[in-house]
């Protein structure tokens, strides 16, 4: 008599048929900067008692890999401020060797890369995104409220030295850094980096009016075409960016434009917060609590919660930013859900 094999875990397919293959895992909502478009100067972060342990994060990540997640991005807040982060990255990274995971990546502000670039490489990370909205020291200090751009540039250099592929993430800010976009392209070309431009998103209450700094990337695209040739590319890293090759520089340019060009039709992403809340869309408040499920019912309960979330994943977000002093699309900050 043959022994029946255990049933394979159900694949991650949402209610409208999109296959989910990309998990963005926020390991902390804390950050060592306070970028004006992202956070208020005085933030109330989650108490440590409210967040998943690193072991719980690893166990949930394991389950997602078993159910078909092929890419995991570790985010925050600033993920490198979480104590023990290297161990979590190594634990998840073991799936790369076994073929269960195609890629483990990271988004960081770069402050801690001088000491962390080599451990990240050892954990299996081969590609990282570094947030850098300006290379001007005074502007950088203004945007981040107290940051030192030299520290970030040292982190960029350390990541390059460690052999990590680097993409620079630059939030396009009207009247603040729009004159630096072309110079940033040239710098990235010289350094061998990709560049992705991002529209500011209406997430969380901040101390300023986002409409003052909103720069549509459609406008940026038009301006860049006056100086360069932008050749559309059939290329994807699994995220929402649309890519072009900028000639004659040869640099790859991505644009993430949630407001001027919706990218939801092919969404393959879900987001898990440090507190264990699983969000199916960056622009909606609907979520399930995987921390509670894990602690009360184990992994079977986690599967049930994931299935519930998949059924209600929305077709698209509804970001709007054109109305001055309008409430944000969602009350949580980007640092809670992860970029």
Q: What is the pLDDT of residues 51-66, one digit of tens each?
A: 999 999 999 999 999 9
Give residue 215's Cα distance to chain centre.
Answer: 20
Q: Which two tokens stand for residue 278?
A: 């699983």
pLDDT at 170 over 90: yes
The pLDDT tens digits for 262-292 are 555 667 889 999 999 999 886 667 889 999 9
In the prediction, which pLDDT does 258 show?
A: 65
Give residue 195's Cα distance to chain centre.
Answer: 14
In the prediction, which pLDDT does 252 show?
A: 97
* 188 annotated ligand binder: no
- Residue 22's Cβ-count burial label (10 Å; 0-12, 13-18, 19+) is buried
* 299 annotated ligand binder: no
Average pLDDT over residues 304-312: 92
What is the CATH topology of the domain spanning 22-337?
TIM Barrel (3.20.20)
pLDDT at 123 over 90: yes
* 270 annotated ligand binder: yes
The C-alpha atoms of residue 72 and residue 64 are separated, in whole angstroms, by: 9
Instruction: Enumerate the domain spans of the chain.
Output: 22-337
* 131 annotated ligand binder: yes
The C-alpha atoms of residue 335 and residue 339 are separated, in whole angstroms, by: 7
> Is 32:81 a contact under the CB 8 Å cutoff?
yes
Q: Which two tokens stand for residue 326?
A: 């309008």
Report helix, strand or coil for 20: coil
* 269 annotated ligand binder: yes
pLDDT at 38 over 80: yes
Lookup result for tokens 């081969």 = 126
- Residue 227's Cβ-count burial label (10 Å; 0-12, 13-18, 19+) is exposed
Average pLDDT over residues 100-108: 97
In the prediction, which pLDDT does 43 show?
A: 82
- Residue 13 DSSP class: B
If one compares 262 and 88, the residue with the highest pLDDT of the two is: 88
* 267 annotated ligand binder: yes
For 57: left if phi > 0, alpha if psi spans -120 to 50, otherwise beta; the answer is: alpha
Alpha helices in the chain (DSSP H): 54-66, 85-98, 113-123, 137-144, 149-161, 181-191, 217-225, 290-311, 334-337
Give the strand order in the sheet containing 103-108. 229-232, 242-247, 251-256, 194-199, 165-172, 127-131, 103-108, 71-75, 22-26, 269-272, 277-279, 287-289
* 73 annotated ligand binder: yes
List the single range of 196-200, 203-207, 289-293, 310-314 with lowest mean pLDDT. 203-207
Q: Annotate 289-300 with DSSP letters as a single string.
A: EHHHHHHHHHHH
* 271 annotated ligand binder: yes
pTM: 0.86
Q: Residue 293: count other Cβ atoms within 10 Å of its Cβ.
A: 22
* 127 annotated ligand binder: no
In the prediction, which pLDDT does 11 show?
A: 85
Q: State the pLDDT confidence band at 31, using cuts at 50, 70 and 90.
A: very high
List the single range of 73-87, 103-117, 260-274 with lowest mean pLDDT. 260-274
* 201 annotated ligand binder: yes
* 21 annotated ligand binder: no
In the prediction, which pLDDT does 80 show?
A: 98
If one compares 337 and 126, the residue with the highest pLDDT of the two is: 126
In the prediction, which pLDDT does 10 show?
A: 78
Q: State the pLDDT confidence band at 5, using cuts at 50, 70 and 90.
A: very low
The sign one gets for the Cα dihedral 49, 62, 111, 38 is negative
């Amino acid at each position: 008599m043959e022994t029946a094999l255990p049933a394979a875990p159900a694949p991650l397919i949402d209610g409208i048929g999109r296959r989910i293959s990309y998990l963005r895992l926020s390991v902390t909502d804390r950050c060592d900067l306070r970028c004006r478009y992202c956070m208020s100067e005085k933030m109330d972060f989650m108490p440590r008692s409210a967040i998943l342990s690193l072991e719980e994060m690893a166990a949930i990540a394991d389950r997602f890999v078993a159910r078909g997640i092929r890419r995991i991005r570790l985010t925050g807040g600033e993920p490198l401020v979480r104590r023990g982060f290297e161990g979590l990255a190594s634990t998840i990274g073991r799936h790369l060797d076994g073929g269960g995971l195609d890629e483990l990546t990271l988004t960081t502000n770069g402050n801690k890369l001088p000491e962390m670039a080599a451990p990240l490489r050892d954990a299996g990370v081969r590609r990282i995104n570094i947030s850098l909205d300006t290379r001007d020291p005074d502007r950088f200090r203004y945007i981040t409220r107290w940051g030192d751009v030299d520290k970030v540039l040292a982190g960029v250099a350390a990541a390059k030295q460690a052999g990590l592929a680097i993409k620079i993430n630059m939030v396009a800010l009207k009247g603040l850094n729009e004159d630096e976009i072309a110079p940033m392209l040239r710098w990235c070309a010289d350094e061998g980096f990709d560049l992705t431009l991002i529209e500011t998103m209406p997430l969380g209450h901040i101390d300023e009016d986002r409409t003052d700094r909103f720069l549509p990337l459609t406008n940026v695209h038009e301006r860049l075409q006056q100086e360069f040739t932008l050749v559309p590319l059939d290329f994807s890293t699994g995220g929402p960016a649309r890519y072009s090759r900028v000639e004659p520089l040869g640099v790859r340019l991505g644009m993430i434009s949630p407001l001027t060009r919706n990218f939801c039709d092919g969404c393959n992403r879900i987001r898990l917060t440090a507190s264990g809340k699983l969000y199916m869309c960056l622009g909606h408040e609907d979520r399930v609590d995987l921390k509670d499920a894990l602690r009360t019912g184990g992994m079977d309960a986690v599967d049930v919660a994931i299935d519930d979330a998949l059924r209600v994943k929305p077709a698209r977000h509804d970001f709007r930013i054109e109305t001055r002093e309008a409430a944000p699309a969602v009350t949580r900050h980007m640092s809670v859900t992860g970029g």
